[in-house]
Amino acid sequence: MDLTAAEGVIDLIEAETAAQARQALRLAGGGLASLVQGWAERLTALLARQEALIEFEDEDLPGSLDAAIESGVTELAEQIAIRLVTDNGAERIRDGLDIAILGAPNAGKSSLLNALVGREAAIVSARAGTTRDIVESRLILAGLPAVLADTAGLREAGDEIEAEGVRRALHRGEAADIVLAVLVCEASPDPATLALMARRPCVVVANKADLGGPVPDGAIPVSAVTGQGLDLLRARLQAEAALLAPSTGAALLSRPRHRAALRDTLAQLGEAQAALLPELRADALREALRALGRLTGRVGAEDILDRIFAEFCIGK
Amino acid sequence: MTFGFDVVVVGGGHAGAEAAAAAARCGARTLLLTHRLDTLGEMSCNPAIGGVGKGHLVREVDALDGIMARAADAAGIHFKVLNRSKGPAVRGPRAQADRRLYREAVRGLLQATPHLSIREAMVEGLERGRDGGIDAVLTADGARISCGAVVVTAGTFLRGEIHLGPERHPAGRHGDPASVGLALSLAGLGLPVRRLKTGTPPRLDGRTIDWAAVEAQPGDDPAEPLSWLTDRITTPQLSCGITATTPRTHAIIRTNLDRAPIHSGQIQGPGPRYCPSIEDKVVRFAERQRHQIFLEPEGLDDPTVYPNGISTSLPRDVQDAVIASIPGLEHARILRHGYAIEYDHLDPRALRASLEVRDVPRLFLAGQVNGTTGYEEAAAQGLLAGVNAAHRASGSTEPRLLLRTQAYAGVLVDDLTTQGVSEPYRMLTARAEHRLRLRADNAHLRLTDIGIAWGCVGQERAARHGAFAGAVATALARARAEVATPAALAAAGLPINQDGIPRSLLEIIALPAAATPALETAFPWLRDLPPGVRAQLEAEALYAPYLSRQASEFAALEREERLPIPDQIDFAAIAGLSTEMRQRLEAARPATLGSAGRVPGVTPAALVALAGHLRRAGAPAR
């Protein structure tokens, strides 16, 4: 079992949702390992050809070898780049979604959190500025675990502690997968929340719909008190979640280190494409192989020599 | 008859000659025993020294004041630097030598070495002392030679057996007897013995070759010497020829495959993949229409030609037909038929990195007996074994080692002693992780100071080296310190990116656009640099960005390489090591944490457990 399969087993034990379990099984069954193994084999073959050109100049090697290495490197780099771009749901499936609730003080953010998770997770009072630090609660959306974060209301802070709360709220909003912007039906939208909505795509609700008043354009009217509109909001959040973590069943890069290793591999393949001397190209290919090896296990010098002697008639 | 020496070297091939010369240079009273004085320095296979990887080893042996490069320079009749179109790190200097001149040069250099005696005798046994170590060497003529250390370089002579078609007979090499007594004696020490095979092509009479029908391949002009001490080559130079097998050749071989010992099952030992017999090539690469053959003259006044590329053990009549099917060789006369040889070697994992047998103190093994192939691999081991034997005989227990980060010779010994061999081991640059650093052109800068500290470098070389190394260091420092702006460079005629960033001369030299005349206009002092110093500057400039990027990794690796694993370590006592890991480490008994990491199959987790144990045990991380 290689390292990624072992990670799959750990993920399987820790899985909370069906999507997580399916993904963990894919990993544990060697899904990523076989993908990386395939790339490592191709890279080993490319390096073997490059090494053959270096070690055995006076042997009768095919003249097309150099061009074949070049196109092979380009092709491999493209495939890894495509994987990096398209395979972007697995980390979210494993680690879950981060949803930040933001809005003006007293918009009812904490009530909304409690209503969505169905328990009194956050302290609720009529006083603006009750929530100062971030309050987190977990729920499951479209088979994905999600962390719902209630934050301090956005306003010019009255004191230092509240100011820090607002700073954290905005920071959380920037990093979140989904921002849930909370407006209030009766009030005109506050400038801080509007500014956030302009910067980031948000799911917008107009709270306190039970009290009446106009609903801003594009906002879902909800009432944390009566439960009005909550089903619609849940459906909207699920749709957003599904968009972020496509359930195609092909996602494999479930940890940051997977992605980092592939990015390093890609960077080295770029070096190989730019290298002006054969030994520098070999050096870059070797580093690329090492980066890939960090995912599954290493490839030794002997593997490269095996390839050389299997492919070419070397020797006098 | 009893007498004594500090070091006795058994064998006068390439490993033995270097071992004896190195031990003597270190001041040890040394005796070289050979079964035949006139085969000292014999080239049993092709008459070439060096190449890619092998040339690196030759330069390293030379940097430690060994004799191989100097002998090859005296005897070389065709010099060529391989990979000349590639960067300096992978350029491999090579010389084809006149076989007789080479033997004479080796013999002359050995005879001129103080403290070294040479004697013709067949070694029959090794005498063990009370500690189990070797105290004396016993010869067939009844002598007992006591010694402080012995270096055995038995080559292919241990239970050697020659195969030529259905014919087979025991031999060490064509015309030489095998060393059965010595083999039995080594076997009696309980050393693990394995069998390997290698082969050689038929030798041709050059006067019967149609040279007009083959392509001529001249050597480099001027020839680049192998030794740093050689100023220029004075031996007359010859061209080689190039021809190739034909479909008819392949048909002849296919028809007679059942008569080839390697295919009939008569030979069992694995042969080298990079040196396959022609019958192997024809079987494995059936789609090829031709296999290249280099026709290498063996000497200036010797008509023998070595057809490099058609090593074979096919029966004599098939060899005759094969040769006649090759363009230019239609009427060539075979002087001696090719053959395959099977021989015993000792599993080198039984050795320490000093090449001393772990369980038999004062016994060193070097060369083909350790499972390597090639004169250069043998010479490098011989030199290291000779140095270590000399120090061992003087009572020192501290080994003189080269690391993988320092030398190809270090890569060689580490590979052998931690990985063992599954085929005759040949050096390739791909085996060196630090290929960009370990160049043939800087071998003396890497190693001569180490050799001086070991005591194996003579005064002449030490003096020349000191002056040269100083000049290189000065030039490098100056090239790092002097900077020029893009505008100044453009004014000097160097078209570079006008980004306004001043660059050091070292960076400028590395630019693809940096042509010599413009460089010299901008930095006139470059004109006055001796060519050798200038070449070092250019090579360093070329690789500097890569080397600096790897610098931190390199430092970490050096630390691992230097974290010793004590001899008496009990792998079973290390928590967290699986049975499998324990067995793998037991078999290889790596000397450092670095080499433990290269033992096949040892996992990173096992290394972490081992490293933790070593640190807890308080092994000093020098």
pLDDT recorded at residue A302:
67
Interstrand relation of B134-139 and A220-221 (parallel, antiparallel or unpaired): unpaired
pLDDT tens-digit series, residues B356-376:
999 999 999 999 999 999 999
* Average of per-residue pLDDT values in chain B: 90
Confidence of residue B621 (pLDDT cuts 50, 70, 90): very low
Please name the residue of chain A whose CA is at the shortest distance from the CA of residue B200: A316
CB A140 within 8 A of CB A16: yes
Distance CA A304, CA A53 (A): 13
Size of interface A-B (CB pairs under 8 A): 81
Tell me the percentage of chain B whose pLDDT exceeds 90: 64
Distance CA B526, CA B519 (A): 8
Residues 6+ apart with CB under 8 A from B548: none
CA of B443, closest CA in chain A: separation in Å? 18
Q: Does A283 touch chain B (CB under 8 A)?
A: yes
**Cross-chain Cβ contact A313/B288 below 8 Å:** yes
B546 → closest Cβ in A55, A280, A316? A280
Please name the residue of chain A whose CA is at the shortest distance from the CA of residue B275: A315
Q: Does B275 touch chain A (CB under 8 A)?
A: yes
pLDDT reading at B518 higher than 90: no
In this structure, the number of other CB atoms found within 10 A of the CB of residue B227 comes to 24
Q: Does B87 touch chain A (CB under 8 A)?
A: yes
**Cross-chain Cβ contact B435/A283 below 8 Å:** yes
Q: What is the ipTM metric for this complex?
A: 0.86
Q: Which of B79, B78, B75, B80 is nearest to B98 (CA)?
A: B75
CB A98 within 8 A of CB A175: yes
Residue with tokens 């660059």: B503
* Residue B142 vs residues B69, B122, B152, B599: alpha-carbon distances, Å: 36, 10, 19, 43
Q: Does B273 touch chain A (CB under 8 A)?
A: yes
Distance CA B356, CA B364 (A): 4
pLDDT recorded at residue B276:
86
Residues 27-46 of chain B whose Cβ lies under 8 A from any Cβ of chain A: 46
**Cross-chain Cβ contact A55/B430 below 8 Å:** yes
Distance CA B283, CA A155 (A): 82
Confidence of residue B619 (pLDDT cuts 50, 70, 90): very low
A279 → closest Cβ in B89, B284, B600? B89
CA geometry: angle B451, B153, B442, nearest 5 deg: 30
Residues 6+ apart with CB under 8 A from B544: B506, B507, B510
Residues 6+ apart with CB under 8 A from B612: B576
Residues 41-80 of chain A whose Cβ lies under 8 A from any Cβ of chain B: 51, 54-60
User: What pTM does this model have?
Assistant: 0.85
Mean pLDDT value of segment B50-64: 97
Distance CA A234, CA A148 (A): 12
C-alpha neighbours within 13 Å on the C-beta side of residue B17: 33
Structure tokens that stand for B294 in this block: 């280099």
Q: Which of B389, B394, B426 is nearest to B411 (CA)?
A: B426
CA of B145, closest CA in chain A: separation in Å? 41
* Contacts with B290 from chain A: Cβ below 8 Å: 60
Residue with tokens 């940051």: A256
* Contacts with A304 from chain B: Cβ below 8 Å: 430
**Cross-chain Cβ contact A315/B274 below 8 Å:** yes
pLDDT reading at B51 higher than 80: yes
In the sheet that A135-141 helps form, which strands lie side by side, from edge to edge? A135-141, A144-150, A97-103, A178-184, A202-207, A220-221
* DSSP assigned state of B528: G
C-alpha neighbours within 13 Å on the C-beta side of residue A27: 30
Selected for mutation to probe chain A from B56, B83, B293, B294 (highest A CB count within 10 Å) is B83
pLDDT recorded at residue B380:
98
Distance CA B582, CA B592 (A): 15
Q: Which residue has the higher pLDDT, B308 or B185?
A: B308
pLDDT recorded at residue A297:
63
* DSSP assigned state of B527: G
pLDDT tens-digit series, residues A247-277:
556 788 888 889 989 999 999 999 999 998 9
CB B328 within 8 A of CB B214: yes
pLDDT recorded at residue B622:
40
Confidence of residue B75 (pLDDT cuts 50, 70, 90): very high
CB B557 within 8 A of CB B594: yes
CA of B604, closest CA in chain A: separation in Å? 9
* Contacts with B87 from chain A: Cβ below 8 Å: 277-280
Please name the residue of chain B whose CA is at the shortest distance from the CA of residue A302: B431
Q: Does B435 touch chain A (CB under 8 A)?
A: yes
Phi then psi for B139, rounded to 5 degrees? -110, 165
In this structure, the number of other CB atoms found within 10 A of the CB of residue B190 comes to 11
Distance CA A146, CA A113 (A): 12
| Nearest-10 Cα torsion for B419, B422, B423, B426 | -10
* Contacts with B275 from chain A: Cβ below 8 Å: 315-316
Q: Does B52 touch chain A (CB under 8 A)?
A: yes
* Contacts with A279 from chain B: Cβ below 8 Å: 86-87, 89-90, 429, 435-436
CA of B621, closest CA in chain A: separation in Å? 26
A316 → closest Cβ in B86, B308, B431? B308
Q: Which residue has the higher pLDDT, B388 or B583?
A: B388
B86 → closest Cβ in A60, A278, A300? A278
* Contacts with A302 from chain B: Cβ below 8 Å: 419, 600
Please name the residue of chain B whose CA is at the shortest distance from the CA of residue A293: B604
Q: Which of B239, B241, B238, B240 is nearest to B214 (CA)?
A: B241
Distance CA B87, CA B441 (A): 11
Q: Which residues of B252-265 are buried (b: 16+ CB within 10 A; e: fewer)?
A: bbeebeebbbbbee
Residue with tokens 């490319």: A46
**Cross-chain Cβ contact A315/B87 below 8 Å:** no
CB A32 within 8 A of CB A255: no
C-alpha neighbours within 13 Å on the C-beta side of residue B339: 22
Q: Which residue has the higher pLDDT, B59 or A65?
A: B59
Distance CA B173, CA B154 (A): 11
CA geometry: angle B417, B420, B423, nearest 5 deg: 140
* Average of per-residue pLDDT values in chain A: 85
pLDDT reading at B117 higher than 90: yes
pLDDT reading at B101 higher than 90: yes
* Contacts with B419 from chain A: Cβ below 8 Å: 302
Q: Does B285 touch chain A (CB under 8 A)?
A: yes
Confidence of residue A301 (pLDDT cuts 50, 70, 90): low
* Contacts with A314 from chain B: Cβ below 8 Å: 273-274, 276
Chain-centroid distance, C-alpha B385: 13
Residues 6+ apart with CB under 8 A from B327: B213, B214, B243, B244, B246
Residues 526-545 of chain B whose Cβ lies under 8 A from any Cβ of chain A: 542
A316 → closest Cβ in B86, B294, B598? B294
pLDDT recorded at residue A246:
61
Residues 6+ apart with CB under 8 A from B183: B154, B157, B158, B159, B344
Q: Does B525 touch chain A (CB under 8 A)?
A: no
pLDDT tens-digit series, residues B550-574:
776 677 667 777 788 888 888 888 8
Residues 212-251 of chain B whose Cβ lies under 8 A from any Cβ of chain A: 244
